[in-house]
């Protein structure tokens, strides 16, 4: 082959690799975008009933620097009818109130330029989707208001609700005054800017140094202020009065002058000395309720604070500040109970006769009396429950086999209830039939269905135990035990509400079977859920619906455990905190905020009324609060809208409610006097004013891993006058139609940045807040949530890999062209030609030993002209066997390991994943067979490519310098002997990858089945596995560098002797480096290709696609 042809081939190789690397780099920036995010600050101006001032909301959205080069879509969803203004700067939604027949309107005014407003069609699922059986507001509309991020880094929006039936209510006029000052109505003024600065305004006369302010002037005396809120401020003067000054910039301050005898407020900041306007003589100043020194001069009071604090400037004693920042509450740390506190003691079963879980034989009469008393709610609960479908006559008539695995437990509960109250022997006989037939179902479509049936069987067994013969008792005992044992494999089930539901069932079985192991496992599982998975303040990491479902399904076990003297969940601090969170954060008519996979599930209230009876003895006020929340939901059935929107109604009477609401008389309801607005650990805010017809805005900015997550951070909802004006999409049910939509950012009240949705599950959390009876504010940080988890700011390793490829390509090119251009004098070459002589012909054994232990001697041996072709082939086979055999062995071991994890999880899986496990054996077989062949052949090809590249460059150099070449067989031997020293590097790599990447892959597979419910979660988890592999590459190269250096030196030695000195050892090292680098570049490019394909596939996957 001519020298020019060889140069062209090498140049072509380098060019192709460079183009591929460039493509991957450019495409990666497109595929893994960094679009930043935004902070959202909500200002809630609360109604002032005394001054007849309505409440409204101001939203300030500030884009992160990366987001400002894109167009922004501001999203708002509503069930109402849309009216767009003529100037395209505002929209109005109108919908009816649930609580009245009134029409309620929401005006949305954008204070910066909007380029385009479009109406799109959305979906609202307050209940799980049912084909052809949904509510009339299933299909809704939403607004996309598009604006330029570059022109409007801060977008201010005013959301003003009003009751159209009240003719005195009007939307306020919003005026733009000088220097971008906004006047809202007659009394309110808003100003904001990106950088704190000093600004002067002439009408009204205001001097301000800071970033943002909201002020309300006094209605009686317009020359003074009623209250002010300042942010990043040093000074505020209104008219002739200096209201605030500080040498050091404060984070924020809220201050009110509505009370003539006191001034109160809250300051966020550290180590500040502030001066505040005070028009009266001062008795005392308090900071965080502690009196502090102060100076009073010229109607200004000065005092110091060391940290964010409330303050009170009082004319008389007996006053207090009503402002608070919930975000600076001491960090909640609720310690999980130690094992000695919750471990079950079998002695508690001593002298316990059945029944003893929900009631004992002495309490049956009391239960019957309550149910037979028409003046008590148990009476109509029982009647409605017994008469509901399936009816008792149908259950008695039909065999158990007629009912599927998700129906039997309903029948068992109903038969048990009828038997308890009416001593109906036909129900007893049928119960025996159901319990004896439980083993006819050997497979359940999900662990939840097994759990529900096991719990019903256990409760029924406890109830009828004394009515069974000894033989029947033993038979049912054995069948119930076998039926319950699969639930003990908790690590196979989703680590969310599933395990709590399973624990509730397993615990009931453990109680009735007197099995300590089952009981302990159930308690431990439930405590793990509440303490280790949910936020410390009692919030939920998977939404109201699922945590309420978990609590309800756990309740019978918790009550039974409590009754016999075991661990009392209803006296556990974290369990009670969870109940309190649910109760305090529900909306005006008892509806939850639709974040995560959450519906308007009435089981939320059911879990509270059952809890009310259990906490009544030790926490009577909490019991009254829970009772109030339940009754509030029940009252919804009386609203006219309930006939159309049945999802606002309460739950139908159930077995649990009738027996677990175990108080003598109904608890008196009592509404909450104070409801916390901001929950730090949960990163949720619930801004509210008033009751069922008041204003309520839930707001989410969660900074922790979630289950059933939605890409909805910095999203909000809005209730006003009993109307659900702004809604999130709800939850159609796992994998049902619209599930992907409900999880999307476009389905939420958030932003699209450059058309992109949120690409991460967790945001930065709530950053700032102040709450008061007249004004509240909260800020959520989502400044990075639109960045892909694979972006360079999170996984720079991938981009460094591509950069290393460029460096290697540059070095290869540099070495190659320096070698080709470097010529030597003929006398020097001839002088070196005489320095090399051959040795005796070695045997195969000698060759193998030399390859392993004496690589320099091995190189000498293969340079003999009389070495047979068979021995040369033997040398190549030894190297191929060691390299490729090592790779194939490692691949098979890894496949066996991963397969064992898959097989372990195939013991149990929900039916919706049947296809996965039906196809899995074929995929696994393909990996074991075809995969092994492909991976082995791939590395075999790399070894050959290394020798071919060495031959290409070496002979080109030889041809140029001495007009001769080395035979391919010799160069292949020289290359393979040197490449053998990749074997230790491969061993290091295999050990490292096995203990890190393979085990991480096993954990990821385990996590796929037990902890993840979001495509983004799955993507992020698998990205971490791939990036872990990438980091291993670096570690392998560092640890293996001594062996790689030896590889280069052995080739340099061999090629110098093989060329008889024409090619120096140093040049041989450079030639070997070129071949080795190109191999590494190819491996890195293939990894990049896989990484990009992996991301592309995940961009196309949806929840519905996975399930269906």
CATH number for the domain spanning 588: value is 1.50.10.100
849 band by pLDDT with thresholds 50, 70 and 90: low
pLDDT, tens digit, for every residue of 766-775? 999 999 999 9
Parallel, antiparallel, or unpaired: how do β-strands 71-78 and 139-148 relate?
antiparallel
Query: Is pLDDT of 644 > 70?
Result: yes
835 band by pLDDT with thresholds 50, 70 and 90: very low
pTM: 0.90
Q: Is 1089 domain-assigned? A: yes
**343 and 321, same structural domain?**
no
Q: What is the mean pLDDT of residues 525-529?
A: 97
Q: Which of 660, 692, 713 is a domain's end point?
A: 660
Q: Is 770 domain-assigned? A: no
Q: What is the mean pLDDT of residues 920-925?
A: 84
**376 and 317, same structural domain?**
no
Q: Is 630 domain-assigned? A: yes
837 band by pLDDT with thresholds 50, 70 and 90: very low
- Rounded to a whole number, what is the largest CA-CA distance in the chain? 121
Query: Is pLDDT of 917 > 80?
Result: no
**999 and 861, same structural domain?**
yes
Q: How far is CA 1090 from CA 140, 799, 895, in A?
A: 40, 14, 18
904 band by pLDDT with thresholds 50, 70 and 90: confident
pLDDT of 100: 93
Compare 815 and 1060 and report the one with higher pLDDT. Answer: 815
Q: Please tell me whether residue 36 adopts helix, strand or coil conformation.
A: coil
pLDDT, tens digit, for every residue of 661-696? 999 999 999 999 989 999 999 999 999 999 999 999
**582 and 448, same structural domain?**
yes
Q: What is the mean pLDDT of residues 364-382?
A: 96
Parallel, antiparallel, or unpaired: how do β-strands 103-110 and 272-277 relate?
unpaired
**900 and 947, same structural domain?**
yes
Q: What is the mean pLDDT of residues 255-263?
A: 92
d(CA 321, CA 286): 9
pLDDT of 1020: 74
pLDDT of 838: 46
Q: Is 751 domain-assigned? A: no
863 band by pLDDT with thresholds 50, 70 and 90: low
Q: What backbone phi and psi angles, to 5 degrees, belong to 675?
A: -125, 125
> For the chain, how many structural domains are there in total?
3
Q: Is 671 domain-assigned? A: no
Q: Is 400 domain-assigned? A: yes
**310 and 343, same structural domain?**
no
pLDDT, tens digit, for every residue of 466-518? 999 999 999 999 999 999 999 999 998 989 999 999 999 999 999 999 999 99
Q: Please tell me whether residue 307 adopts helix, strand or coil conformation.
A: coil
Exposure pattern of 838-860 as b/e (b: 16+ CB <10 Å)?
eeeebeeebbeebbeeebeebbb
824 band by pLDDT with thresholds 50, 70 and 90: low
Q: Is 77 domain-assigned? A: yes
Q: What backbone phi and psi angles, to 5 degrees, belong to 489?
A: -85, 60
pLDDT of 870: 73
The domain containing residue 113 runs over which residues? 38-328
**1069 and 938, same structural domain?**
yes
Judged on CB neighbours under 10 Å (0-12, 13-18, 19+), 466 is exposed
**901 and 869, same structural domain?**
yes
Query: Is pLDDT of 826 > 50?
Result: no
**CB atoms closer than 10 angstroms to residue 442:** 7
d(CA 279, CA 301): 10
Q: What is the mean pLDDT of residues 638-649?
A: 94
**523 and 449, same structural domain?**
yes
Tokens (6 digits) for 286: 């308090």
**Secondary structure in 3-state letters for 892-951:** HHHHHHHHHHHHHHHCCCCHHHHHHHHHHHHHHHHHHHHHHHHHHHHHHHHHHHHHHHHH
**402 and 261, same structural domain?**
no
Asked whether the CA dihedral 772, 234, 218, 262 is positive or negative, the reply is positive
d(CA 1015, CA 717): 24
**Residues 899 and 924 sit within 8 Å (Cβ to Cβ):** yes
pLDDT of 972: 83
Q: What backbone phi and psi angles, to 5 degrees, belong to 384?
A: -65, -40
Q: How far is CA 643 from CA 631, 652, 653, 879, in A?
A: 18, 15, 19, 80
**579 and 495, same structural domain?**
yes
Parallel, antiparallel, or unpaired: how do β-strands 695-700 and 715-716 relate?
antiparallel
Compare 8 and 355 and report the one with higher pLDDT. Answer: 355
Query: Is pLDDT of 1006 > 90?
Result: no
Strands (DSSP E) found in 586-735: 678-679, 684-689, 695-700, 715-716, 718-720, 723-726
Q: What is the mean pLDDT of residues 950-966?
A: 81
Mean pLDDT of the chain: 90
Q: What is the mean pLDDT of residues 76-84?
A: 95
Contacting residues for 852 by C-beta, under 8 A, at least 6 apart: none
d(CA 208, CA 199): 5
Q: Please tell me whether residue 725 adopts helix, strand or coil conformation.
A: strand
Among 355-364, 534-543, 712-721, 1097-1106, the least confident range: 1097-1106
d(CA 35, CA 15): 32
pLDDT of 312: 96
d(CA 522, CA 503): 4
pLDDT, tens digit, for every residue of 589-628? 999 999 989 999 999 999 999 999 999 999 999 999 999 9
H helical segments located in 588-664? 603-615, 620-635, 655-660
Q: Is 769 domain-assigned? A: no
Q: How far is CA 319 from CA 258, 268, 285, in A?
A: 13, 21, 10
Query: Is pLDDT of 406 > 90?
Result: no
Q: Which of 596, 631, 660 is a domain's end point?
A: 660
Contacting residues for 327 by C-beta, under 8 A, at least 6 apart: 678, 680, 766, 767, 768, 769
Judged on CB neighbours under 10 Å (0-12, 13-18, 19+), 515 is buried
**532 and 449, same structural domain?**
yes
Q: Which of 606, 630, 660 is a domain's end point?
A: 660
């Amino acid at each position: 082959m001519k020298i020019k042809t060889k140069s062209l081939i090498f140049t072509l190789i380098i060019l192709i690799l460079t183009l591929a690397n460039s493509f991957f780099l450019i495409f990666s920036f497109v595929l893994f975008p960094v679009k930043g995010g935004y902070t959202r600050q909500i200002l809630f101006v609360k109604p002032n009933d005394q001054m007849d001032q309505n409440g409204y909301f101001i939203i300030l959205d500030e884009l992160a620097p990366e987001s400002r080069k894109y167009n922004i879509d501001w999203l708002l969803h509503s069930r109402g009818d849309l009216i767009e203004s003529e100037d395209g700067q505002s929209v109005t939604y109108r919908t009816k109130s649930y609580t009245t027949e009134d029409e309620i309107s929401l005006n949305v005014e954008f204070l910066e330029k909007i380029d385009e407003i479009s109406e799109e069609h959305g979906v609202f699922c307050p209940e799980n989707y049912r084909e052809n059986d949904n509510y009339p507001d299933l299909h809704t509309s939403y607004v996309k208001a598009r604006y330029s991020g570059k022109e409007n880094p801060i977008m201010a929006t005013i959301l003003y609700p009003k009751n159209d039936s009240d003719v005195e209510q009007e939307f306020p006029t919003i005026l733009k005054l000088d220097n971008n000052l906004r006047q809202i109505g007659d009394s309110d003024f808003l100003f904001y800017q990106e950088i704190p600065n000093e600004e002067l305004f002439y009408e009204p006369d205001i001097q301000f140094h800071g970033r943002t302010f909201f002020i309300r002037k006094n209605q009686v005396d317009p020359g003074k202020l009623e209250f002010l809120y300042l942010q990043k401020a040093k000074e505020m003067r209104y008219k002739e009065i200096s209201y605030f000054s500080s040498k050091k910039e404060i984070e924020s301050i809220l201050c009110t002058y509505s009370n003539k005898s006191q001034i109160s407020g809250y300051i966020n900041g550290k180590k500040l000395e502030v001066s505040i306007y005070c028009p009266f003589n001062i008795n005392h100043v308090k900071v965080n309720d502690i009196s502090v020194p102060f100076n009073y001069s010229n109607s200004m009071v000065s005092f110091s604070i060391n940290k964010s604090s409330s303050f009170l400037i009082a004319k008389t004693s007996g006053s207090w500040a009503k402002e608070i920042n919930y975000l600076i509450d001491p960090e909640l740390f609720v310690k999980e109970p130690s094992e000695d506190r919750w471990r079950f003691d079998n002695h508690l079963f001593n002298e316990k006769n059945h029944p003893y879980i929900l009631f004992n034989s002495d309490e049956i009469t009391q239960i019957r009396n309550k149910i037979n008393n028409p003046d008590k709610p148990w009476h109509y609960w029982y009647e409605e429950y017994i008469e509901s479908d399936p009816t008792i006559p149908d259950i008695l008539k039909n065999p158990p086999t007629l009912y599927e695995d998700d129906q039997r437990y309903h029948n068992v509960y109903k038969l048990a209830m009828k038997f308890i109250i009416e001593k109906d022997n036909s129900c007893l006989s049928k119960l025996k039939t159901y319990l004896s037939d439980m083993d006819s179902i050997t497979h359940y479509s999900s662990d939840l269905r097994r759990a529900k049936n096991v719990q019903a069987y256990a409760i029924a067994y406890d109830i009828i135990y004394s009515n069974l013969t000894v033989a029947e008792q033993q038979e049912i005992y054995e069948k119930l035990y076998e039926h319950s044992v699969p639930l003990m494999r908790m690590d196979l089930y989703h680590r969310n509400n599933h395990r709590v539901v399973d624990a509730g069932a397993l615990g009931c079985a453990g109680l009735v079977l007197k099995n300590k192991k089952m009981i302990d496992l159930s308690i431990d599982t439930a405590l793990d859920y509440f303490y280790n998975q949910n936020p410390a303040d009692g919030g939920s990491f998977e939404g109201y619906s699922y945590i309420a479902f978990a609590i309800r399904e756990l309740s019978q076990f918790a009550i039974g455990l409590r009754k016999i003297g075991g661990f009392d969940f209803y006296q556990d601090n974290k369990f009670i905190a969870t109940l309190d969170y649910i109760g305090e954060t529900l909306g005006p008519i008892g509806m939850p905020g639709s974040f995560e996979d959450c519906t308007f599930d009435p089981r939320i209230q059911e879990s509270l009324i059952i809890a009310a009876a259990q906490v009544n003895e030790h926490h009577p006020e909490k019991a009254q609060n829970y009772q109030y929340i339940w009754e509030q939901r029940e009252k919804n059935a009386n609203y006219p809208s309930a006939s159309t929107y049945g999802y606002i109604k309460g739950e139908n009477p159930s077995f649990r409610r009738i027996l677990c609401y175990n108080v003598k008389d109904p608890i008196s309801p009592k509404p909450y006097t104070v409801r916390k607005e901001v929950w730090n650990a949960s990163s949720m805010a619930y801004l509210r004013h008033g009751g069922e017809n008041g204003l309520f805005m839930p707001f989410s900015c969660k900074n922790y891993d979630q289950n059933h997550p939605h890409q909805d951070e910095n999203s909000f909802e809005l209730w006003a006058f009993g109307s659900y004006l702004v809604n999130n999409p709800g939850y159609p049910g796992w994998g049902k139609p619209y599930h992907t939509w409900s999880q999307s950012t476009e389905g939420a009240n958030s932003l699209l940045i450059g058309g992109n949705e949120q690409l991460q599950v967790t945001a930065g959390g709530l950053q700032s807040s102040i709450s008061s009876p007249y004004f509240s504010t909260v800020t959520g940080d989502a400044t990075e949530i639109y960045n892909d988890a694979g972006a360079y700011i999170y996984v720079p390793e991938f981009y460094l890999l591509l950069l290393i490829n460029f460096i290697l390509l540059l070095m290869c090119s540099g070495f190659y062209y320096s070698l080709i251009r470097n010529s030597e004098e003929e006398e020097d070459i001839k002088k070196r030609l005489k320095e090399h002589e051959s040795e005796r012909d070695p045997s195969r054994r000698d060759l193998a030993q030399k390859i392993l232990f004496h690589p320099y001697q091995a190189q000498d041996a293969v340079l003999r002209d009389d070495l047979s072709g068979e021995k040369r082939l033997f040398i190549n086979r030894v190297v191929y066997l060691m390299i490729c055999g090592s790779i194939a062995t490692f691949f098979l071991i890894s496949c066996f390991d991963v397969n064992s994890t898959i097989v372990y999880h195939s013991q149990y899986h929900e039916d919706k994943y049947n296809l996965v496990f039906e196809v899995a054996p074929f995929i696994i077989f393909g990996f074991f067979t075809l995969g092994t062949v492909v991976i082995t052949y791939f590395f075999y090809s790399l070894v050959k490519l290394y020798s071919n590249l060495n031959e290409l460059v070496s002979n080109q150099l030889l041809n140029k310098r001495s007009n001769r070449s080395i035979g391919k067989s010799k160069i292949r031997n020289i290359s393979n002997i040197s490449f053998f020293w990749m074997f230790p590097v491969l061993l290091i790599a295999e050990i490292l990858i096995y203990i890190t990447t393979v085990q991480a892959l096993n954990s990821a597979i385990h996590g796929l089945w037990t902890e993840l419910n979001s495509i983004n979660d799955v993507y992020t988890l698998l990205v971490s596995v791939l990036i872990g592999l990438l980091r291993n590459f670096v570690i392998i190269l560092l640890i293996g560098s001594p062996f790689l250096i030896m590889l280069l030196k052995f080739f340099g030695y061999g090629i110098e002797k093989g060329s008889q000195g024409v090619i120096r050892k140093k040049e041989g090292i450079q030639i070997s480096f070129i071949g080795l680098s190109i191999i590494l570049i190819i491996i890195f490019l293939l990894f990049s290709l896989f990484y990009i394909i992996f991301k592309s596939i995940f961009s196309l996957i949806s929840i519905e696609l996975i399930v269906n």
